[in-house]
Amino acid sequence: MLPDIDRRTTRPTWSLLGPAFVAAIAYVDPGNVAANVSAGAQFGFLLVWVIVLANVMAGLVQYLSAKLGLVTGRSLPESVAGRTRTTTRIAYWLQAELVAIATDLAEVVGGAIALYLLFDLPLLIGGVITGAVSLILLAVQNRRGQRHFERVISGLLLIIAIGFLTSVLVEPPPVADVAGGLIPRFDGAESVLLATAMLGATVMPHAVYLHSGLARDRHGHPEPGSRRRRLLMATRIDVGLAMLIAGAVNMSMLLVAATNLQGVADTDTLEGAHAAVQDTLGPAVALCFAIGLLASGLASTSVGAYAGAMIMGGLLRRTYPLLVRRLVTLLPALVILAIGVDPTRALVLSQVVLSFGIPFALIPLIRLTSDRQVMGADVNHRVTTTLGWGVAGLISLLNVVLIYLTVTG
């Protein structure tokens, strides 16, 4: 009989896939739906280029995160905690916690809206149900292991993809208009706000933190050699396939809105967008839209809570009960629903908050993966490092422009 390490080395590549599909849920959460639908309904095909750019950037970032976990055997939060003083570590955790709250806001509100569309449930009750289901999904991970959790989340990702891609197939967008949207440009402060929200909804900080831990927990900490090289190759394939699916779903959201909702009244909310889809494409497509949104909310809120637990445990170096960890980020979302804040606007603004948290995740990730003492022979190539800093710089610049336009506008 072959020793255990050899059996793992001879596994088919497809059996090594999975962590990136869990992380990819972060890229098709309800915040993406709100930001992309709003962008398409207000500006047509103007911001197509943002989705393409954001997806490419997300693929690079997620691979670097997974590589850090595989090579070092530590998650990104653990790596940051090991290189900072106590006060800095706690301050870093506070900003990461704010990002986690914004993440949960988008996911719980999105699930609540979907339940309202499907079953006419009040938003607060829908939010409670979404939070409860996320606990059940997390229990699968705790009791059955990561592989079972990956299968459940991958199944929900498939439902999300079918739910949103259906509408594109029913009414394909004009090819010339889509091509025109690939030219980078803006049209006023609101388009910058939406572009920043789309970036925040795609390159998500909690997914950056999470993927390092997912890859480490799934594949362990392989020593330098053939097995590590094979796992890194499988990780590149994993990330590529996951981001291809997530990018297609995100693009479909914007294209559907640009093709069918531009100029239609009351499409600035998800409820209004759903009604407009039903009027223009029929009840069957609208049902797929709502089901996709529900699957998005349920899957993403459980993945977000999983990431939050990893962030808190890694930075505070303590383990907290799952229910306590879940309530920390769930309660603000339920308060938003209870006081009657416009849920779609809250979703879009939550993505802007996420965008401001991206540099805090990217800068240490790039520094760590560019450090030969940390990564050894698997240190980033200079081109990779340059691209990584470019991603962090571009997002930071967009945030500065957003603040300026908001204050002066």
pLDDT tens readout for residues 217-241: 888 888 888 989 999 999 999 999 9
267 assigned to some structural domain: no
4 assigned to some structural domain: no
CB-CB neighbours of 239 under 10 Å:
28
Q: Which domain holds residue 389?
A: 16-256+278-408
2 assigned to some structural domain: no
Across 45-49, 93-97, 235-239, least confident range: 93-97
Per-residue pLDDT tens for 287-345? 999 999 999 999 988 888 888 888 988 998 887 777 777 788 888 889 988 888 888 77
266 assigned to some structural domain: no
75 assigned to some structural domain: yes
Separation CA 118–CA 79 (nearest Å) = 43
Cα dist from 143 to 15, 131, 316, whole Å: 21, 19, 24
pLDDT at 1 over 50: no
Share of the chain above pLDDT 90, in %: 46
Separation CA 232–CA 226 (nearest Å) = 10
pLDDT at 150: 86
pLDDT at 304: 86
Number of domains in the chain: 1
270 assigned to some structural domain: no
363 assigned to some structural domain: yes
Question: Which positions ≥6 away from 20 have C-beta within 8 Å?
Answer: 62, 66, 211, 235, 238, 239, 241, 242, 243
Question: Which positions ≥6 away from 78 have C-beta within 8 Å?
Answer: 314
331 assigned to some structural domain: yes
Residue type for position 181: G
Q: Of 139, 314, 160, which is closest to residue 242 (Cα–Cα)? A: 160
CATH of the domain at 78: 1.20.1740.10
Q: List % helix, strand, coil for the chain (3-state, nearest 5).
A: 85, 0, 15
